[in-house]
Amino acid sequence: MDKYIIEGGEKLYGRVQIQSAKNTVLPLLAASVLTDEQVKIRGMPAINDVENMLHILTEVGCLIKRQKDCAVIDSSNAVSHEIPTRLTKELRSSVFMLGSVLTRFRKAKISYPGGCDIGLRPIDLHLSGLKRLGVKIKEKDGYIHCSADRLKGAEILLDFPSVGATENIILAAVKAEGFTVIRNAAKEPEIVDLQNFLNAMGAKVRGAGGGTVVIEGVNRLHSVEYTPIGDRIEAGTYLIAGATCGGEIEINGVPPENIAALLHKLRENGCKIHTKNDKIILWSDGRLRSVDLVETMPFPGFPTDLQAQYTALCTTASGSTLIVENLFETRYRYAAELKRMGADITVRGRTALVRGVERLHGACVTASDLRGGAALVVAALKADGQSEVMDLSHIDRGYADFEGKLRRLGAKIRRIRI
Ligand code: UD1
C-alpha cells in the first residue's frame, strides 16, 4: 500500500498534458464487445480502473493487445455473458457491460457493482431502462440475471439524468429493433464521446449532450480506431491545485466548455484564466477569496467529481463557502482528514460549511476514495511542512502518474512503497 510524502508550500508552474477521460474510456471498453471486429482505442490512461475493465474483457473471452498507450480489443471469440464478480466489486463501471453483453449474447449475469464508497449508488434506472427494451430481469443470490429474446426500441424517460443509466441504455439499444428515445438523458461530454465512438462503428445515435438521445438500431457494427476526449476531472484537479498553491499552469487537452462551471468559480476566487481551443492557462497568487455557494449538479453544473478537490481549495480561501453535494450521499469522508491539517469544516448531511483558515499544517491523512484522495493531496501541497497521504490505491484508480505530473509542476511529492 503506497503513500505520498509531500512537502507543502511550493507554487506550481508548468504545463500538464491531460489523459483520456476515465469516464469515457470505461464505457468505450464495454462497447467494444458490440462488434466482433477489432476496436482500437488510443491514449489509454494508465489507471487501475482501466486495467480492471480490461481484465473483465479478458475474462469474457476478448483478446487484448497493448501497443504503447493503445489497446486493441478483439472480441470475436468472446464467449461469456457472465461478468466476473471479483472485478465487478472493484469497479462500478463494470455495470456498463450489462448493456453491451446483452446486445451481444441476449443475456447477461452480473453481481451488484462496487466502486468508490460515496453513497448508495443504486442501478434501478439502468434496470428499468433495460426492461423497457424488452429485457427480463431476475435478482437472485446477489446476482442480476438479464435475458431478452429480442431487444426492441422504446421510449424511456429517466427520473434522473444518470450518466451510467444513459450509457447503459444506449449500449443496449444500438442494435435493438427500431428507435429508442431516452428523455432526460445525462448531458455529460462523456455521453457525446460515446455517441461519436458508436457512430464511428456504424451506429445511428444522435442528440447526446442535449438531454434527448435517439438511437436507431442497426444490424451490424464494425471495427473502429478512436481517441477519447481528455479527462475534464483530471484537468480540473490540476487547475484547483494551481489555484490553491499559486503559480501559473497550462492545461492541454480539454475543451474549456467541458469544465466551464469550475472555471467560473475559479475566476470568482480571484484566479486569472485564459482559454484557447483545448488549452487553459491559470494564474493565481495563492491568496483566494471564497465564493458563497457551490452546489454539485449534473452537467453543465459543477461536477460532483471536483467537489472534494474544490473544498480543499476553500479551506485556505478568505471567508466561508457553503458546499452542497446533490449527487451522492456520503461524499465528505475526506473532510475529517482535512480537519487533521487544520481545516475548519462543518459537515451536515449533504452540506459542508468551509471557513477559510490562514494556513494548513502538514499531517498524516488517509485517502478513502478517489477524488477525496486527490483533495488531500491538494491540501497537502498547500500546507506548511510535511504531510503523508496514505492508501494511494484509490488515487491510482483515476490519476495516471499523479505524482510525476505534480513534480513537473514543481511540487515536492514522492511515492513511498510500504
Ligand atoms: C458517473 C461517473 C462518476 C460521476 C457520476 C456523476 C462514470 C464511470 N462515473 O457515475 O464519476 O461522479 O457519473 O457525475 O462515468 N442513481 C440512481 N439510480 C440509478 C443510477 C443512478 O438513483 O440507477 C443516482 C445515483 O445514486 C446518484 C445519481 O443518480 O445519486 C447520479 O448517478 P449517475 O449519474 O448514474 O453516476 P454514475 O454513472 O454512477
Q: Letter for the amino acid at 415? A: R
276 φ, ψ to 5°? -155, 125
Greatest CA span in the chain, whole angstroms?
Answer: 64
Looking at the structure, tell me whether residues 180 and 293 fall in a common domain.
no
Please check whether residues 221 and 235 belong to one and the same domain.
Answer: no
* Residue 350 Cα to ligand 1 middle (Å): 16
> Which 8-state DSSP code applies to residue 63?
E
Last residue of a domain, one of 204, 226, 248: 226
58 alpha carbon, distance to own chain's centre: 22
Please check whether residues 28 and 15 belong to one and the same domain: no
The reply to whether ligand 1 has any atom less than 6 angstroms from the CB of 73 is: no
Q: What pLDDT is recorded for position 356?
A: 98
Instruction: Mark whether 9 and 67 lie in a shared domain.
Output: no
Ligand 1 atom closest to the CA of 128, numbered from 1: 23
Measured CA to CA, the distance from residue 241 to residue 256 in angstroms comes to 17
Say how many C-beta atoms besides its own lie within 10 A of residue 277's C-beta: 8
Q: Are residues 162 and 272 in the same domain?
A: no
Among 62, 70, 116, 314, the one annotated catalytic: 116
Cβ 93 under 6 angstroms from ligand 1: yes
Q: Are residues 29 and 15 in the same domain?
A: no
Three-state DSSP at 196 gives helix
**Domain span including residue 189:** 22-226
Do 99 and 163 share a structural domain?
yes
122, 83: one domain: yes
- Final residue of a domain: which of 226, 246, 271? 226
Question: Which amino acid, 365?
Answer: V
Are 380 and 341 spatial neighbours (Cβ–Cβ below 8 Å)? yes
Testing ligand 1's pocket by substitution, the residue of 52, 98, 306, 327 carrying the most ligand atoms inside 8 A of its CB is 327
Per-residue pLDDT of the chain (418 residues; tens, 9 = 90+): 899 999 999 999 999 999 999 999 999 999 999 999 999 999 999 999 999 999 999 998 999 999 889 999 999 988 788 888 877 777 878 888 899 999 999 999 988 765 555 455 688 899 999 999 999 999 888 788 999 999 999 999 999 999 999 999 999 999 999 999 999 999 999 999 999 999 999 999 999 999 999 999 999 999 999 999 999 999 999 999 999 999 999 999 999 999 999 999 999 999 999 999 999 999 999 999 999 999 999 999 999 999 999 999 999 999 999 999 999 988 999 999 999 999 999 999 999 999 999 999 999 999 999 999 999 999 999 999 999 999 999 999 999 999 999 999 999 999 999 8
pLDDT of 118: 47
Question: pTM score, two decimals?
Answer: 0.96
pLDDT at residue 81, as a whole number: 86
- Is 143 in the same domain as 66? yes
**26 & 133 share domain:** yes
- Among 184, 202, 226, the domain boundary falls at 226
Give the dihedral sign, CA 109/111/116/120: positive
Instruction: Read off the C-alpha cell for 373.
Output: 484522495
Is 116 one of the annotated active-site residues of the chain? yes
Total number of domains in the chain: 2
Asked if 389 contacts 414 with a C-beta cutoff of 8 angstroms, the reply is no
Residue 215 sits in the same domain as residue 70 = yes
Q: Under DSSP, is residue 290 helix (H, G, I), strand (E, B) or coil?
A: coil
DSSP state of 20: B
Report the CATH number at residue 51: 3.65.10.10
- Decide: 405 in ligand 1 pocket, CB within 6 A: no
CB of 328 sitting under 6 A from ligand 1: yes
DSSP 82: B
CA of 125 to the centre of ligand 1 (A): 10
Q: Do 148 and 180 sit in the same domain of this protein?
A: yes
The answer to whether residues 331 and 307 touch, using CB atoms and an 8 Å cutoff, is yes
